[in-house]
Amino acid sequence: MKITFFFSLLLFITSVFGQTRQVCFSFDDLPVVGYGITDTTYQKQLTDRLVGALVKNRIPAIGFVNEKKMYEAGQTSPYQEKLLKSWLDHGLELGNHTYSHPDYNMVTYREFTEDLLKGETLIRKLLHDKGKALKYFRHPFLHVGPTKAKADSLDAFLASHGYTTAPVTIDNEDYLFALAYHRANIKKDTAQMKRIGADFLVYMEAKMKYYEKQSIVLFGREIPQILLLHASLLNADYTDALAAIFRKNGYAFVSMDSALKDTAYRTEITVYGKWGISWIDKWALSQGKKGDFFKEEPVTPEYINKLSAQ
Ligand SMILES: [Zn+2]
276 versus 9: the higher-pLDDT residue is: 276
Residue 65, beta-bridge partner list: 30, 96
Measured in Å, residue 198 CA sits from the centre of ligand 1 at 24
Measured in Å, residue 186 CA sits from the centre of ligand 1 at 22
Euclidean distance between CA atoms 144 and 154, whole angstroms:
8
pLDDT for 5: 52
pLDDT for 176: 98
246 versus 75: the higher-pLDDT residue is: 246
**Cβ pair 134, 162 in contact under 8 A:** yes
pLDDT for 143: 98
Measured in Å, residue 191 CA sits from the centre of ligand 1 at 28
Q: What CATH class is the domain 21-308?
A: alpha beta
Mean pLDDT of the 38-57 span:
96
pLDDT band for position 76 (cuts 50, 70, 90): confident
Measured in Å, residue 305 CA sits from the centre of ligand 1 at 19
The pTM score is 0.93
**Cβ pair 207, 296 in contact under 8 A:** no
Mean pLDDT of the 180-193 span:
97
Percent of the chain with pLDDT over 70: 94
pLDDT band for position 1 (cuts 50, 70, 90): very low
pLDDT for 13: 46
pLDDT for 310: 74
CA atoms 230, 234, 237, 240: torsion sign: negative
- Convert the pLDDT of each residue in 133-151 to its tens digit: 999 999 999 999 999 999 9
pLDDT band for position 74 (cuts 50, 70, 90): confident
pLDDT for 77: 85
**Residue 7 clears pLDDT 90, i.e. is over it:** no
- Convert the pLDDT of each residue in 29-45 to its tens digit: 999 998 988 888 999 99
Measured in Å, residue 64 CA sits from the centre of ligand 1 at 8
Measured in Å, residue 25 CA sits from the centre of ligand 1 at 15
**Residue 2 clears pLDDT 90, i.e. is over it:** no
- Convert the pLDDT of each residue in 228-241 to its tens digit: 999 999 999 999 99
Angle, CA of 97, 101 and 104, to the nearest 5°: 95
Measured in Å, residue 282 CA sits from the centre of ligand 1 at 19
pLDDT for 192: 98
Measured in Å, residue 292 CA sits from the centre of ligand 1 at 29
Query: Integer distance in angstroms from the first to the last C-alpha of the chain?
Result: 66
Measured in Å, residue 231 CA sits from the centre of ligand 1 at 10
Measured in Å, residue 101 CA sits from the centre of ligand 1 at 6
pLDDT for 15: 47
Question: What average pLDDT does the structure give for the chain?
Answer: 93
pLDDT for 75: 83
SS (H, E, C) the chain: CHHHHHHHHHHHHHHHHCCCEEEEEEEEEECCCCCCCCCHHHHHHHHHHHHHHHHHCCCCCEEEECHHHHEECCEECHHHHHHHHHHHHCCCEEEECCCCCCCCCCCCHHHHHHHHHHCCHHHHHHHHHCCCCCCEECCHHHCCCCCHHHHHHHHHHHHHCCCEECCCCECCCHHHHHHHHHHHHHCCCHHHHHHHHHHHHHHHHHHHHHHHHHHHHHHCCCCCEEEEEECCHHHHHHHHHHHHHHHHCCEEECCHHHHHCCHHHHCCCCCCCCCCCCHHHHHHHHCCCCHHHHCCCCCCCHHHHHHHCC
pLDDT for 278: 97
**Residue 83 clears pLDDT 50, i.e. is over it:** yes
**Residue 169 clears pLDDT 50, i.e. is over it:** yes
Query: In the chain, where are the structural domains located?
Result: 21-308
Measured in Å, residue 28 CA sits from the centre of ligand 1 at 5
pLDDT for 4: 52
Instruction: From 254, 106, 227, select the one nearest 166 (Cα to Cα).
Output: 227
pLDDT for 61: 98
Measured in Å, residue 114 CA sits from the centre of ligand 1 at 17
Measured in Å, residue 258 CA sits from the centre of ligand 1 at 22
Measured in Å, residue 4 CA sits from the centre of ligand 1 at 53
pLDDT band for position 73 (cuts 50, 70, 90): confident
Say how far residue 15 (Cα) sits from the centre of its chain: 28
Measured in Å, residue 31 CA sits from the centre of ligand 1 at 11
Instruction: From 71, 56, 126, select the one nearest 95 (Cα to Cα).
Output: 126
pLDDT for 16: 47
Mean pLDDT of the 86-97 span:
98
